[in-house]
A and B are shown apart, each in its own frame.
Chain A
Amino acid sequence: SYVLTQPPSVSVAPGKTATISCGGNNIGRKGVHWYHQKPGQAPVLVIYYDTDRPPGIPERFSGSNSGNTATLTISRVEAGDEADYYCQVWDSSSDHVVFGGGTKLTVL
């Protein structure tokens, strides 16, 4: 089955740029979606189809996807960005949805 690999944790100082990776075999051929989740809350979509932002998501959030790695980039990080971040794809070979293991973003 298809596996998505994320770093367990990323730390960044306020105002700096955070990058969260999501690795998968030829993931560049798939559409990747990103969510953030704060404690006790449901996940919230922040990037869909590699690079698109839903309404209400700040421009500070951006995404890219190529080769075997998709990346979520958060510019000018704020304390409120501290959350768990998950990547997600549709695996056409199994016809199943796959989530990455999640990355805890800590704002120092």
Chain B
Amino acid sequence: QVQLVQSGAEVKKPGASVKVSCKTSGYTFTTYSLHWVRQAPGQGLEWIGMISPSGGSTNYAQRFQGRVTMTRDTSTSTVNMELSSLRSNDTAVYYCARVSDHDDGDYGYWGQGTLVTVSS
């Protein structure tokens, strides 16, 4: 079955960077795009961007342009999301999500989430 397993919680200081990984299994890694979504405490879902594992092309939300980098490692079926210049309002749970098998742009599969805390 499809599984997305994310790396563990992180605590970072303002100005630092954080890298969250998402290891996939149960399907052909290069077939479906992978997305990153975050959720600040008590807030809604916010799309960060996406990566196409086949060629590595990326598409980032405007507000994260210049601060986010998404990469993939086809040898380990893993995608990574690095966010730099962290500030306190980047504190959130970060999810990776895969589009559904029918690929209508909906997310049928989600990682368990990674809590990133930014605090001095």
A interface residues (Cβ-Cβ under 8 A, vs B)? 1, 31, 33, 35, 37, 42-45, 48-49, 54, 84, 86, 88-90, 94-102
Contacts and interface: CB of A to CB of B under 8 A. Distances in A.
Interface of B: 35, 37, 44-47, 50, 59, 61-62, 95, 100, 102, 104-108, 110-113
Contact of A33 (B47, B59, B105): B105
Chain A facing B: main interface SS: strand
Nearest to B105: A90
A97 B105 contact: yes
Which of B37, B44, B102, B111 lies at the interface centre, i.e. has the most chain A CB atoms within 10 A of its CB? Answer: B44
A54 B47 CA distance: 22
Contacts of B59: 95-96
B95 A42 contact: yes
Given A33-B105, A45-B107, A95-B59, A86 B100 contact: no
Given A86-B44, A90-B105, A102-B45, A45 B62 contact: no
A99 B62 contact: no
Contacts of A1: 62
Contact of B45 (A43, A54, A89): A43
